[in-house]
Amino acid sequence: MSDQLKPSVESPADHPVSVRELLLARLDGSDLAPQARSLLRELLPDESARSSGLRADPVQLRSITAVGWRGIGPRTTLELPPGPGLVVVAGPNGSGKSSFAEAAETALTGRNSRWDKRRASDWKQGWRNLHSPDVTPEVSVELCVGEQGEPVTVRRTWYGAKVDDARTHAEGADGSERKLEEVVDAAALDLARPFLPYSELGSMINGTLGDLHDAFFELLGLELLAEFDARLRDAVGECRQAVEREKEHTEQVLGELAGLEDPRARHAAEALSGTRADLDRVRALLASRSPAAEAELEGLRQKASLVGPDLQEVSGAVARLREAAARAEETRHGKAEHARRLAKLLEAALDHRRRSDSADCPVCGNPGQLDRSWAEHARAEVERLQNEAAQAEGALQAVVKARQALHDVIDPVPAWLQKAGSPLAELWRDWAMCRSITDTAELADRADRAAVALENACRQVREESTLELAEYDGEWQSTAMRLAGWLAVAEAAEAARVRRPHATKARAWLRSVIDELRDERLRPFAEQSQKVWQQLCEHSSVTLGSVTLAGTPGRGRVELDVSVDDMTAPAYSVMSQGELHSLALSLFLPRATHGASPFGFLVIDDPVQSMDPEKVEGLARVLDVFAQDRQVIVFTHDTRLQQAITHLGIRATVLRVTRQTDSVVGVETVTDPVDQALAEARAISLDRQMPQDVADRVLPAMCRGAIEVACLVTARRRLRDEHGLPLPEVEERIASLERTKEYVALALLGDAKRDAQGTVERIRAGGWSLIQTFNSGTHAPLPTVDDRKALVSRTKGLAMSILRSGGPGNGQAPGHSGGAQ
């Protein structure tokens, strides 16, 4: 089973041939026309600057801490065993267990999936613990980073009343500050996200398959394909737009030609009419003058169409620059830095107060100086200083932006005007030189003067050139200029008509290659999802077939081949809530355990809800497989997962979360139930101060309880593995037990009504008399500690013998052979 489910998904780095090389190889072997091949090579993106897969140091989760957060009041830490393994964090609803799961997600990502999905005010306001209003809320995770397992703590602390009023810091074991982006790769958190909160279990199918598609696309190293397809799509669109522009210009020019008496206008209208315009005839009409005259006309046209600076735009940009400079001048030099230093100093004092839990001043030593009132004032001052610094920095940045905005409206000297050597060219050069001025005052003054001088000169040149052009051909000249503009549009449309079919065929070819490469690289994910589903829903009538990706990022989706009794159906319309949860897990696990993921842990919140007993057992098996090489942390209030882990003999660490009044949360390790029962009896037996009558009454009852627990563990395993009974029937039989002898008979013989005396004596001599003593309520007095110890010892021997009889447990309790620890 474990070999079938083992994560085997490769990272893009595992593929020795790049996507670009694969595309070029397929292109060389295609039957596309040379023009389509040339277009594909022209638009193929460069892959040299792209990263291949996720690159980050491996990360393990060592502990989760919260204070004043959600259901946790005083500071509480959930210690986690290092390295791979299954960890079950159990506790009833409201105990605070999900608060730990959300704390880990919030500390590392800065957000909470539940709030992202449900932005109602009660959820946004419910992040602060109600019983700790005076405590600074904080969540943190202790990580082991890199191959050497460097301890790093990522802490998110709130400084205001809103959920977004928080800062995240990372620090090493020695307290030194670390850059968060160097500890946890933000891209890896998005692509191979190790958190599956309960809020996403049921909503994944309806709400996040588009995001899942995009994440898979990048995980598979196929981003280049998406960009390539977008370029081809744009190329096809540009061709279409060029043809449409020609149609619009043709209608406009034909309307103008219809109003002219000039015979050239009639000839031009004939050339533009019909199915396809006669471009050569239009060219001949426009070139009917002598070369010298045409050159003169061209120069006049350029001057007549000359556009200088937009004085209104320049004036606005200059005004904004001067206004920004004035505001920046009001901000004294170093004010931002000074405010930042003061804020940091106050934050350090606040941090000292929080860490030391003392109100004494660390500088002067006066007691009570750093009291609550001081802390509130200090936090307000920190926020004010930070705002002051931000305003100062913003004023300086506004100057930079305003200067750049003014530079952007300054155009270089037109190429044709540079050759003219006229006074106008000199004025334009003065205007263009303003782009090199960085001094704010000088730039504003010179740009203002140069723009006015240049625009006045441009206006004069335009007016003079327009009058000269009018002397040539009157009405025809302006029409000829429009016709020349139309010709440029028509020539572009002609080229687009040639290019468009090749672009369309090239894109169709690329889409088939995208489908091929995508399916090839997705196959390990899809196969793993199917195997997880089969394990979780072994007895379900719903079958999960292929898992495929359709489309490209931003327009794609994950397609699920779901059928019921061989009839195809939409996933969310035929699946129960438990099956939807199972499907979400089937899609989550391959993604989160991707070979390039740096995260050596998974955090899954409450996956057991809505699952029937068979799915819970399948879930236990799946979690066990993934826990072989990852730290799998599961939060649940449902005891069925622990029961399944126990009777399947799965090794796991079980932590129980309890919540007392005032949100005091406790965490304790749960041992094997048989060991725990025996340990409690042993503690009673060693208590020399216990009254005789209490020992005679309590200790046998505790020993009987230990035997019954051993019988339950054995019965569940035997009835499932040997008798093949479904879980509901197993639990029904267990629920009917009343006497210890019935527990023993069900465990050893599979039938509570049979006589188990002979079997008990065969596996443990004297065992039946011990059971009779428990059942009859009579027993030998226990006057000494040795007598009490002997009773516990006999009970342990019988309990171990019962456990040994239950199958492949090597004669030990599940806690010793691989069960819940």
Measured in whole angstroms, how far is the alpha carbon of residue 705 from the centre of its chain? 48
Domain-ending residue, one of 374, 403, 432: 403
Any idea which of 297-306, 433-442, 665-674, 741-750 has the lowest mean pLDDT? Answer: 297-306
> Token digits for 72?
């946790």
Any idea which of 70-79, 311-320, 575-584 has the lowest mean pLDDT? Answer: 575-584
Length of the chain: 821
Residue 519 lies in a domain: no
Residue 783 lies in a domain: yes
At 474 the pLDDT is 64
Strands (E), 497-539: none
696-709 CB burial, b ≥16 within 10 A, e <16: beebbebbbbbbbb
Residue 530 lies in a domain: no
Residue 122 lies in a domain: no
pLDDT at position 32 over 70: yes
**Whether residues 370 and 262 fall in one domain:** no
**Whether residues 740 and 693 fall in one domain:** yes
**Whether residues 685 and 745 fall in one domain:** yes
**Whether residues 338 and 244 fall in one domain:** no
pLDDT at position 293 over 50: no
- Backbone phi, psi, residue 53, to 5°: 75, -170
Residue 795 lies in a domain: yes
d(CA 633, CA 260): 84
Q: Which residues contact 253 (CB under 8 A, 6 or more apart)?
A: 268, 272, 479, 482, 483, 486
Residue 761 lies in a domain: yes
d(CA 797, CA 804): 11
**Whether residues 263 and 336 fall in one domain:** no
d(CA 622, CA 606): 15
732-755 CB burial, b ≥16 within 10 A, e <16: ebbeebeebbbbbbbbbbeebeee
**Whether residues 365 and 244 fall in one domain:** no
Residue 709 lies in a domain: yes
At 290 the pLDDT is 42
At 810 the pLDDT is 35
Residue 650 vs residue 475, higher pLDDT: 650
Query: What is this structure's pTM?
Result: 0.60
Three-state DSSP class for 2? helix
Residue 651 lies in a domain: no
Domain-ending residue, one of 380, 403, 426: 403
DSSP for 664-697, please give it: -EEEEEE--HHHHHHHHHHHHHT-TTS-HHHHHH
**Whether residues 685 and 782 fall in one domain:** yes
Phi-psi region of 273 (alpha: psi -120 to 50; beta: other; left: phi over 0): beta
DSSP for 401-450, please give it: HHHHHHHHT-PPPPHHHHTT--HHHHHHHHHHHGGG---HHHHHHHHHHH
d(CA 28, CA 41): 10
**Whether residues 295 and 364 fall in one domain:** no
Number of domains in the chain: 3
At 816 the pLDDT is 35
At 77 the pLDDT is 95
Specify the DSSP class assigned to residue 154: E
**Whether residues 678 and 789 fall in one domain:** yes
pLDDT at position 415 over 60: yes
pLDDT at position 809 over 60: no
d(CA 128, CA 73): 9
The angle subtended at Cα 716 by Cα 713 and Cα 720, nearest 5°, is 145
At 45 the pLDDT is 86
d(CA 201, CA 584): 6
**Whether residues 708 and 785 fall in one domain:** yes
pLDDT at position 417 over 70: yes
Interhelix angle for 34-43 vs 19-28, to 10°?
Answer: 170
Domain-ending residue, one of 403, 436, 452: 403
Q: Which residues pair with 559 in a beta bridge?
A: 548
Highest mean pLDDT among 285-299, 452-466, 719-733: 452-466
Percentage of residues in the chain with pLDDT exceeding 90? Answer: 22
**Whether residues 294 and 246 fall in one domain:** yes
d(CA 327, CA 627): 60
* Residue 788 structural domain: 671-817
pLDDT at position 815 over 50: no
**Whether residues 294 and 344 fall in one domain:** no
At 580 the pLDDT is 77
